[in-house]
Amino acid sequence: MLAPPPNTTQPLRVWAGTALSKSQPGYRHRTLVTLVQLVERWDRRLQLQLTVNFYDGKQDAKLCSGSALGRDSGPHIECASVLGMKGLFWKRVFTPEEVMARGATHVWFFDNDLHVTGLDLSAMLAAMRALGIAIAQPSIAGPIDASGREGRTTDIEGLRAANLPPSDACVASATPIVEVMTPFFDASAWVGLHRQLLTQWPDDALAKTDHGLNDVWCRFTQLHLRWRYPACAVVRTATVVHNGSNAINSSAVRESSRHMPEVLKGRLYAQYYVQYLERAALPLRCFSLADVARGSAAAAEGGDAFLEWGTRLGTYPYTEGPPHASQYQVERVGHDPT
Task: Using DSSP, state whether 188 is helix, strand or coil.
Answer: helix
Say what the pLDDT of residue 33 is: 77
| Bridge pairing between strands 172-174 and 286-287 | antiparallel
Cα–Cα distance list, 159 to 166, 181, 209 (Å): 12, 11, 21
Say what the pLDDT of residue 277 is: 56
Q: How far apart are the C-alpha atoms of 328 and 278, rounded to whole Å?
A: 11
Q: Of 49-63, 137-151, 240-254, give the lowest mean pLDDT range.
A: 240-254
- pLDDT category of residue 329 using cuts at 50, 70 and 90: very low
Tens-digit pLDDT profile for residues 219-246 = 889 888 888 888 999 999 999 999 865 4
Would you say 139 and 234 are in contact if contact means Cβ atoms under 8 Å apart? yes
* Nearest C-alpha neighbor of 58 from the set 82, 36, 91: 82
- pLDDT category of residue 324 using cuts at 50, 70 and 90: very low
Higher-pLDDT residue of 252, 330: 252
Q: List phi, psi (to 5°) of 168.
A: -60, -30
Tens-digit pLDDT profile for residues 263-317 = 555 666 677 777 665 666 666 789 999 999 999 999 888 888 888 888 888 777 6
Provide the edge-to-edge strand list for the sheet that holds 49-54. Answer: 77-80, 49-54, 14-20, 106-109, 184-186, 135-141, 232-241, 172-174, 286-287
Say what the pLDDT of residue 67 is: 65
Tens-digit pLDDT profile for residues 37-70 = 888 888 778 889 999 999 988 888 777 776 666 6
Tens-digit pLDDT profile for residues 157-182 = 889 999 999 999 999 999 988 999 99
Q: How far apart are the C-alpha atoms of 204 and 182, rounded to whole Å?
A: 22
Would you say 162 and 153 are in contact if contact means Cβ atoms under 8 Å apart? yes
pTM: 0.86
> For the domain 14-316, what is the CATH code?
3.90.550.10
58: Cα separation from own chain's centroid: 26
* Nearest C-alpha neighbor of 248 from the set 79, 109, 63: 109
Q: How far apart are the C-alpha atoms of 17 and 326, rounded to whole Å?
A: 37
Task: Using DSSP, state whether 167 is helix, strand or coil.
Answer: strand
- Outline where the chain has alpha helix (H): 32-42, 61-65, 86-93, 96-102, 121-131, 187-196, 203-208, 217-219, 250-264, 267-270, 276-281, 289-301, 304-313
* Mean pLDDT for the stretch of residues 3-22: 82
Higher-pLDDT residue of 110, 150: 110
Q: Which residues pair with 77 in a beta bridge?
A: 50
Say what the pLDDT of residue 338 is: 31
pLDDT of residue 29 exceeding 50, the answer is yes
Cα–Cα distance list, 301 to 8, 10, 228, 257, 315 (Å): 8, 11, 18, 48, 21
Cα–Cα distance list, 271 to 205, 263, 275 (Å): 18, 12, 11
Say what the pLDDT of residue 320 is: 44
Cα–Cα distance list, 261 to 162, 183, 212, 216, 220 (Å): 33, 23, 10, 13, 18
Say what the pLDDT of residue 258 is: 55
- pLDDT category of residue 336 using cuts at 50, 70 and 90: very low
Say what the pLDDT of residue 332 is: 28
pLDDT of residue 119 exceeding 70, the answer is yes
Say what the pLDDT of residue 2 is: 57
Say what the pLDDT of residue 200 is: 84
* Nearest C-alpha neighbor of 220 from the set 241, 200, 188, 196: 196
Tens-digit pLDDT profile for residues 72-112 = 545 468 889 999 889 999 999 999 999 999 999 999 999 98
* Nearest C-alpha neighbor of 201 from the set 84, 112, 109: 84
- Outline where 112-249 has alpha helix (H): 121-131, 187-196, 203-208, 217-219
Say what the pLDDT of residue 319 is: 52
* Nearest C-alpha neighbor of 227 from the set 107, 307, 173: 307
The answer for residues whose C-beta is within 8 angstroms of residue 106's C-beta and 6 or more apart is: 12, 13, 14, 15, 125, 128, 184, 185, 186, 187
> Taking the domains of the chain in order of start, what are their residue ranges?
14-316
Say what the pLDDT of residue 284 is: 75
* Mean pLDDT for the stretch of residues 19-29: 75
